[in-house]
Amino acid sequence: MELRGNVRVYCRLRPTTPTEECPWGILSDQRTVTATAKGQQHAFTFNHIFGSQDSQAQVFAEIAELVQSSLDGYSVCIFSYGQTGAGKTHTMTGKASEEDQGLIPRALAKILDCQQRLKWQDWTYSLELSVMEVYNDRIRDLLGSRSTEVSDINDVKHEEGGHTTVVGVSRTTITSSEQALSLISKASINRSCHSTAMNASSSRSHSILMLNITGRHSDGTTLKGALSMVDLAGSERLTRSKAEGERKAETCAINQSLSSMQSVFEALAAASKPGGSANRHVPYRDSKLTYLLKPALSRGGKALMFVHVSPEEASMSESLHSLRFATKVSGVEVGPARKNGFTPSVTELHQGYSKTYALRSLENNLQKYSGQQLPAMREKEKSTHHRLQTNSFESLIPERHVTADEKHDLTVSYQGSGPYASHLDREEHFREHPTSSKALQLADENSVESASAIVDSGKPVMDFNLRSNSLRKRRQDGALIGERRQKRTSKWH
């Protein structure tokens, strides 16, 4: 899923209990939800609607690419919104069983798996996890001492690259899914939950997981991404919740911070309308919640909202309120997402994993040609590539006279092709797509032999290209050059 422009909104309907009848219906396009209340028909259209029968795995499949894009250097925010008891925490955290795991444990497992797969591409990642709650507009660390509260908004630090840190809130480097699950469980236990008239186990705070991602490539490239996953406390009407004392104060604080979030999206929506000012003030600092999420909710971030709907007839008013707000959010234009750093797309590299796997299989088949030389050759090619980048061309071909023209041809030829994979690609192409002409088949086999010879010799690709250039120059006066050029043209066209 690629997010460009508007904030995406997904709607999820909570399954009914045996005593409930769901008044909501989903149209066949899986984008429109309908209901009738007090004789009036209501319809709301979003990017996707998940019914009560959709599993946790199906929901995560729709956001997996968005989660993975945080490894590319994007600031990503996924948050769940809706009234209390609508299923927000089930979607975000879920339960311990693999089938019922929510988006948060699945997202962390996805990122950890991807960063392991990308090690062979010379990428290394540092993943720093923080989990906190905003309770009565104070920030509490859910992985450290709960006695530590952050009340000063200036203690929230937004760093370059979308990273956010909070003074006094712990950060833990994660390296495995098991460790991540343990931390999520600890945070869930520490989160503030109490019983109300509307929910026996109501979250009384906004829970925010922040993952600061730093990727480094062997060529010196550094990128920074961030993933924020937010389980918002449920909105409640005081008349229905019957909250008193401390519960009443909690409800007021929850509703106030949710109102601040609405104000942020309304300001963003106004700025994105025709004639709107891109410099319009957005009230991020009105609450700790919105200020924490500022990087992902600003221009250049990627944001996805899950709006949750309860099937209870008595909750129709709150459900309609949530859906109307979600409709406003879906119209917010935040502009194209911006990558923090200039790098190849990690998503593209990950999608190309299957092709690389095939090339490695081909490499194994080439063992009959090269014996134990391939590992050494791979290291040699890495060293060669590094020396070429530093313009140390002489070190590439020691004890050999190279003319200026040959050195130019060498540079252009090398920079236009991959050092080792190009030969594997070439051989794979000839083996899987043989030409019909016997003469051309013979030419193909000669190319295969040339590529295999490079593998056998372990010599840099540049030496092969240089010898090819020299050979071509010696043949310029030969009568055979025209015929070979004609064959080569017909082969590729």
Show binding-site residues for ATP. 82-89
What is the C-alpha to C-alpha distance for residues 140 and 184, in angstroms, rounded to an integer?
15
Structural contact between residues 230 and 207, judged by C-beta atoms closer than 8 angstroms: yes
Binding residues: 82-89
Structural contact between residues 202 and 196, judged by C-beta atoms closer than 8 angstroms: yes
Vertex 266: Cα angle to 264 and 272 (nearest 5): 105
Which amino acid, one-letter code, is at 325?
A: F
How many residues comprise the chain? 493
Longest CA span, the chain: 99
Residue labelled with tokens 């030419």: 443
Structure-token pair, residue 77:
């925010």
Buried (b) or exposed (e) across 182-213, using 16+ Cβ within 10 A?
A: ebbeebbebbbeeebebbeebbbbbbbbbbbb
Instruction: State the DSSP H helix or E strand holding residue 276, giving kind and residue range, or none if neither.
Output: none
Neighbours of 153 (CB within 10 A): 15
Structural contact between residues 93 and 102, judged by C-beta atoms closer than 8 angstroms: yes
What is the C-alpha to C-alpha distance for residues 155 and 169, in angstroms, rounded to an integer?
10
Closest CA to 310 of 28, 7, 33, 30: 33
Instruction: State the DSSP H helix or E strand holding residue 37, giving kind and residue range, or none if neither.
Output: strand 32-37
